[in-house]
């Protein structure tokens, strides 16, 4: 087994993997008018896995002259439209939000005529988290985009999660469909019935090589001890690589709980679009933004 | 300010407070046929704040003879019914689930003729968590009972939380109504509009002395730095004593995330019934069960 075939189990290994495999993605950055965004782009460029194209003001264009390719824009809205156009023209492999409201970028991304969400595709948000004490990365969806996923949306989430885990060289990812209990409850939680159907489809190979179980709660998904204590038998075995969270309130709260209280490091990316889209929050650290770009770079492969 | 008027900010201080104030509650224990339950009862008895009444099998009755008051029962169902009857007769101040399914106990508690949920009262689940790094206890609801709270149920949750915080000598508790964002969104999340109404009622004094704000996310509720970084002004100030979580999936996931990944210690109790009800999970530590009994003992005051 070569070094590059090893499972990527934290963000340092992710950066090493990108370096070793010579990945280099053309990154369109939408309106990078703030230091935070430019610092993250600089860091990713220094790591070697991106070739930035800044869609920016004349001022930023002047200050970056010679270092990065640039495209002028007069406003955040125009920058978003131009960056999306770059993707449509095959000139960018991934997109990053700069100093622009999320709504503005999403409008350009989702535009039915000029956008980059293929008809029928589901836009969803995936986070990869390194949680101290948990021996692998934990991928989860959705902390930011889909309020209450439909069954079809959950199927797409599962496809994306399984693909992304495999891009991290997890040969047979273990994925849990999360609910507050292990018992399906069609009356109060209709989606727990969907879980059973999805689990069956996964067993039939519909999502590629992966192990899917649910409904499971977080503890039985992520703790072999908790699984044993509850006398539950699950092929996920308390070693989930990924979890599908039931709704955006649960997803968002989980994201914030692990970063606020468990010192988790995270990376996040939108999936479903023609190329991965990175939407950092203003409060994210430069490192978290760098990891998000690295996640997108692997996913863009 | 005397010692006993000090805010209780962790579970050790809670036990000290119970000792100092001479609190002693009559605790009906439903079917304590397992060591785990009896160990927790022993620990609470040793701390001095409970006077146990075991509603148990003849075997357990024999083994505890002389140490605790006992009442015989032939089955978990009968034990649940007898324990609830003790409450109705004014002979017990709090209830604890032993080796019996939650459903069985809840059926007895909720029985319209013989139960102990006053008409019109809302049954909900409150957790108090000590999260390392967070400088105070964090109370939250609901991890276990109400799937998707109605506006009326949320009002009751707020009443209970405010009362419980004040029992912990938090003079003016800060309570956040949690959503994934700070923006109300009537279309996708109708309850965020309810939040605005509840906030207004709180400002008018309907919930006693307390500060209520929302919608807020977890970070802006529990981190002054996150609040500042987002340039948001909130009277909760990133120092929430309590949070109302939007639905059971979020509540349950939060409970499990902080215990699994942030080494949180927790105590939990049902509110709304004539006396507090403690429903430990099989996997809870003896210490967590002890803390839950202590939480119930304060709340029963």
Q: Is A4 helix (H, G, I), strand (E, B) or coil?
A: helix
| Ranges in chain A, pLDDT < 50 | 1-4
- Per-residue tokens: B114: 């013989």
* Beta pairing partners, B189: B185
Contact call for A253 and B252, based on CB within 8 A: no
| B247–A249 CB contact, under 8 Å | yes
Provide mean pLDDT across the span B199-225. Answer: 97
For the cut 90, the answer to whether the pLDDT of residue B300 exceeds it is no
Half-sphere CA count of A25, side-chain side, radius 13 A: 27
To 5 degrees, how large is the angle CA A206–CA A211–CA A212?
A: 80
Q: Residue with structure tokens 């273990």?
A: A174
Q: Which A residues, 202 through 231, put their C-beta within 8 Å of a C-beta on chain B?
A: 217-219, 222-223, 226, 229-230
Contacts of A189 in chain B (CB under 8 A): 147
- The closest alpha carbon to A152, from A123, A175, A114, A109, belongs to A123
Minimal Cα–Cα distance from A162 to chain B, Å? 22
Residues B282, A230 contacting (CB under 8 angstroms):
yes
pLDDT above 80 for B42: yes
Comparing alpha-carbon positions, the chain B residue that sits nearest to A146 is B188
Gap between the Cα atoms of B235 and B237, Å rounded: 5
Q: What is the DSSP letter of A162?
A: H
A chain contacts of residue B179, beta-carbon cutoff 8 Å: 249
Q: Which one of A221, A230, A248, A256 would you mutate to disrupt binding with B, by most B Cβ within 10 Å of its Cβ?
A: A256
**Closest approach of A248 to chain B, Cα-based (Å):** 7
ipTM: 0.94
Put simply, the answer to whether A261 touches B131 (Cβ < 8 Å) is yes
How do B124-130 and B138-141 pair as beta strands?
A: antiparallel
Q: Is B183 an interface residue toward A (CB < 8 Å)?
A: no
Does the pLDDT at position B3 exceed 70? no
Chain-chain contact of A180 with B253 (C-beta, under 8 angstroms): yes
- Tally: H helices and E strands in chain A: 11, 11
* DSSP classification of residue A25: E
Which residue of A lies nearest to B189 if distances are taken between CA atoms?
A147
Question: How many Cβ atoms from other residues are within 10 Å of residue B204's Cβ?
Answer: 8
- The DSSP secondary structure of chain B, one letter per residue, reads --GGGS---SHHHHHHHHHHTT--EEEEEE---SHHHHHHHHHHHHHTSEEEEEEE-HHHHHHTTTTSEEEE-SSHHHHHHHHHHHHHTT--SEEEE-SS-HHHHHHHHH-TTT-S--TT---EEEEEEE-TT-SS-EEEE-SSS-SS--HHHHHHHHHHHHHHHHHTT-SS-EEEEE-SSSS-BTTTBTHHHHHHHHHHHHHTTTTSS-EEEEEE-HHHHH-HHHHHHTT---TTTT--SEEE-SSHHHHHHHHHHHHHHS--EEEEEEESSSS-EE---TTS-HHHHHHHHHHHHHHT-
CB A202 within 8 A of CB A242: no
Q: Does A189 touch chain B (CB under 8 A)?
A: yes
- Other C-beta atoms closer than 10 Å to the C-beta of B188 total 11
Contact A186, A196 (CB under 8 A): no
- Beta-ladder partners of B95: B28, B277
CB distance from B257 to chain A under 8 Å? yes
d(CA A159, CA B128): 38
Please give the C-alpha separations between residue A78 and each of A75, A182, A203, A279, A284, in angstroms, as whole numbers: 5, 48, 46, 17, 25
3-state class percentages of chain A: helix first, strand second, coil last, to nearest 5: 40, 20, 40
Interacting residues of B146 by C-beta distance below 8 A, sequence separation 6+: B122, B123, B124, B125, B153, B157, B248
**Whether pLDDT at B283 is above 80:** no
Q: Do A134 and B229 touch (CB under 8 A)?
A: no
User: What percent of chain B has pLDDT above 70?
Assistant: 98
Domains of chain B: 1-121+273-301 (3.40.50.10950), 124-271 (3.40.718.10)
> How far apart are the C-alpha atoms of A257 and B253, rounded to whole Å?
10
**Residue of B136, B232, B256, B280 to mutate, testing the A interface (most A Cβ within 10 Å of its Cβ):** B256
Instruction: Quote the distance between the C-alpha of residue B21 and its chain's center.
Output: 20
Taking residues B2-21, what's their average pLDDT? 86
Element containing residue A41 per DSSP (H, E): helix A35-47
Judged by CB atoms closer than 8 Å, whether chains meet at A229 and B282 is answered as yes
Is the pLDDT at B274 greater than 80? The verdict is: yes
Sequence-distant (≥ 6) Cβ neighbours of residue A60 within 8 angstroms:
A32, A33, A38, A54, A70
Residues 6+ apart with CB under 8 A from A109: A80, A84, A95, A115, A116, A117, A123, A270, A273, A277
Query: What does the mean pLDDT of chain B come to?
Result: 95
B contact residues 163-182, partner A, Cβ 8 Å cutoff:
178-181
Q: Are B56 and B31 in contact (CB under 8 A)?
A: yes
Nearest-by-CA chain B residue for A250: B250
> Is residue A286 within 8 Å of A43, Cβ to Cβ?
yes
For residue B226, give the nearest of A144, A226, A283 by CB distance.
A283
pLDDT tens profile B232-262: 999 999 999 999 999 999 999 999 999 999 9
pLDDT reported for residue A301: 66
**Radius of gyration in angstroms for the set of CA atoms belonging to chain B, rounded to a whole number:** 19
Q: Suggest the residue from B222, B250, B280, B281 to mutate for an interface test with chain A (most A CBs closer than 10 A).
A: B250
Match 């978290």 to its residue by tokens: A288
CA dist B53 and B243 (Å) reads: 34
Chain segment B130-146, per-residue pLDDT in tens: 999 999 999 999 999 99
What are phi and psi for residue B187, nearest 5 degrees? Answer: -70, -55
**Predicted pLDDT at B2:** 42
With a CB cutoff of 8 Å and minimum separation 6, the contacts of A119 are: none
Cα–Cα dist B171/B136, whole Å: 14
Residue of chain B whose alpha carbon sits nearest to that of A144: B180
CA distances from B71 to A23, A75, B28, B87 (A): 72, 77, 10, 13
Stated pTM of the model: 0.95
The span from the CA of A149 to the CA of A128, in Å, is: 19
Please name the member of B147, B253, B262 whose beta carbon is closest to the beta carbon of A250.
B253
pLDDT band of B75, cuts 50, 70, 90: very high
- Angle at the Cα of B239 from the Cα atoms of B237 and B240, rounded to 5 degrees: 110
Residues sharing a CB contact under 8 Å with residue B68, sequence separation 6 or more, in sequence order: B41, B45, B52, B53, B54
Residue B68's region, left for phi above 0, alpha for psi from -120 to 50, else beta, is beta
pLDDT number for residue B4: 44
The three-class DSSP label of residue A8 is coil
Whether residue B159 is predicted with pLDDT greater than 60 in this model: the reply is yes
Contacts with B150 from chain A: Cβ below 8 Å:
none
From the CA of B132, how many Å to the nearest CA of chain A? 8
Q: To probe the interface with A, which of B232, B253, B266 has the most A CB atoms within 10 Å?
A: B253
pLDDT of residue B128: 97
Q: What pLDDT is recorded for position B301?
A: 66
């Amino acid at each position: 087994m070569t070094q590059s075939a090893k499972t990527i189990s934290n963000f340092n290994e992710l950066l090493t993997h990108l370096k070793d495999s010579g990945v280099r993605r053309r990154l369109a950055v939408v309106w990078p008018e703030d230091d935070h965004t430019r610092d993250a782009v600089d860091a990713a460029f220094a790591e070697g896995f991106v070739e930035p194209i800044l869609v920016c003001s004349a001022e930023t264009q002047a200050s970056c002259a010679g270092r990065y390719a640039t495209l002028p824009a007069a406003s955040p809205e125009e920058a978003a439209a131009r960056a999306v156009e770059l993707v449509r023209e095959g000139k960018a492999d991934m997109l990053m939000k700069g100093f622009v409201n999320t709504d503005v970028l999403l409008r350009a991304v989702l535009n039915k005529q000029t956008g980059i969400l293929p008809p029928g595709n589901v836009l969803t948000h995936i986070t990869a988290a390194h949680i101290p004490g948990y021996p692998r990365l934990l991928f989860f969806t959705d902390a930011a985009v889909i309020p209450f996923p439909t069954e079809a949306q959950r199927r797409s989430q599962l496809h994306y999660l399984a693909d992304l885990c495999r891009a991290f060289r997890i040969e047979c990812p273990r994925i849990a469909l999360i609910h507050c209990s292990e018992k399906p409850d069609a009356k109060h939680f209709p989606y727990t019935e969907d879980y059973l159907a999805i689990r069956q489809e996964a067993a039939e190979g519909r999502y590629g090589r992966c192990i899917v179980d649910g409904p499971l709660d977080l503890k039985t998904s992520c703790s072999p001890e908790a699984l044993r204590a509850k006398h539950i038998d699950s092929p996920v075995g308390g070693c989930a690589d990924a979890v599908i969270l039931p709704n955006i309130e649960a997803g968002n709260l989980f994201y914030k709980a692990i970063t606020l209280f468990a010192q988790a490091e995270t990376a996040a990316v939108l999936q479903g679009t023609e190329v991965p889209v990175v939407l950092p929050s203003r409060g994210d650290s430069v490192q978290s933004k760098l990891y998000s770009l690295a996640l997108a770079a692997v996913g863009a492969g």
